[in-house]
Amino acid sequence: MTIGQAARRLGALDALEASLLNAEQPGGPRWRDNVCQVRLEIAGSQIATALSDAAEKGQGLSGLGEEDFARRLAHLKTQRFTGVGQSGEPAVVVLSAPVQKGDQNASRVPKEAPEWVGRQMDADGRGAGSGLKGARAAESVALSQLRRQIDELPLRDGLTIGQAAAKDPRLDRVVTEAMRRARVSRVIYGVDGAEVRVSFDLDHFWRELLKSE
């Protein structure tokens, strides 16, 4: 029995797709002959949790005995899944501006924590398309919205995170890396699209800013 078959019998296809939104991208995109390749990885434990939660809700054990089901879940938790997707694009050469050293004084992190430290920041997005395609599109919109909200956070002396990052590429990289910790906290599937909420721990973000000094 495949994971997909088990999820279908458990009525857990939506939960399975939602768990896939937590897949991580090791490294960046790779370009080969104008074809972009992206690799995603996800721990089997996240998939096992989705199936286990569905079983606990009384939706059956997919025709398996309880012990057999538990044994298969335990094995699933030891695995890791990898997928590679690619898309062709026209040959376009983009010339990047020279990397500037930046004004690090303007982006210096204050010793006193701002009032937003300790909060959780949420951002919502909506994407067109069915199933996982719509959810991925919605997640991208939500992450863009999250970045805008982060950029509006005050850093010090009337200076926002976004303004400081614009002056200092180093700080901009810190923000980008910290956003990798944002996690999907809600997924709603509709007839013609999906809505996704991502959540971001601002306490962790503050610690990353302090470490960058």
pLDDT tens digits in sequence order for the chain, 213 residues long: 678 777 777 777 777 888 887 788 766 566 565 566 777 888 888 888 888 887 777 655 545 677 787 888 888 888 888 887 766 544 443 333 343 444 555 557 888 889 999 999 999 999 888 788 888 888 889 999 999 999 999 998 888 998 988 888 888 889 988 998 899 999 999 888 899 999 999 999 999 998 877
Q: What is the pLDDT of residue 2?
A: 79
| 195 shares its domain with 127 | yes
45-60 burial by CB neighbour count: b if 16+ within 10 A, else e? ebbbbbbbebbeeeee
Closest residue by Cα to residue 178 from 109, 132, 128:
109
Query: Are the CB atoms for 198 and 142 separated by under 8 Å?
Result: yes
Q: What is the pLDDT of residue 111?
A: 82
3-state secondary structure (DSSP) of residue 100: coil
Region at 69 (left for phi over 0; alpha for psi -120 to 50; beta for the rest): alpha
Q: What is the pLDDT of residue 18?
A: 80
Q: What is the pLDDT of residue 15?
A: 79
| 71 shares its domain with 128 | no
60 occurs within a structural domain: yes
| 126 shares its domain with 79 | no
110 occurs within a structural domain: no
131 occurs within a structural domain: yes
Task: For residues 150 and 158, give the distance between their C-alpha atoms in angstroms, rounded to a whole number.
Answer: 15
| 145 shares its domain with 69 | no
112 occurs within a structural domain: no
| 131 shares its domain with 207 | yes
113 occurs within a structural domain: no
Token duo for residue 41? 């990885």
Query: Are the CB atoms for 88 and 35 separated by under 8 Å?
Result: yes
| 9 shares its domain with 83 | yes
Task: For residues 147 and 149, give the distance between their C-alpha atoms in angstroms, rounded to a whole number.
Answer: 5
Domain of 185 in residue numbering reads as: 120-211
Domain boundary among 44, 70, 88: 88
3-state secondary structure (DSSP) of residue 86: strand
Query: Are the CB atoms for 52 and 73 separated by under 8 Å?
Result: yes
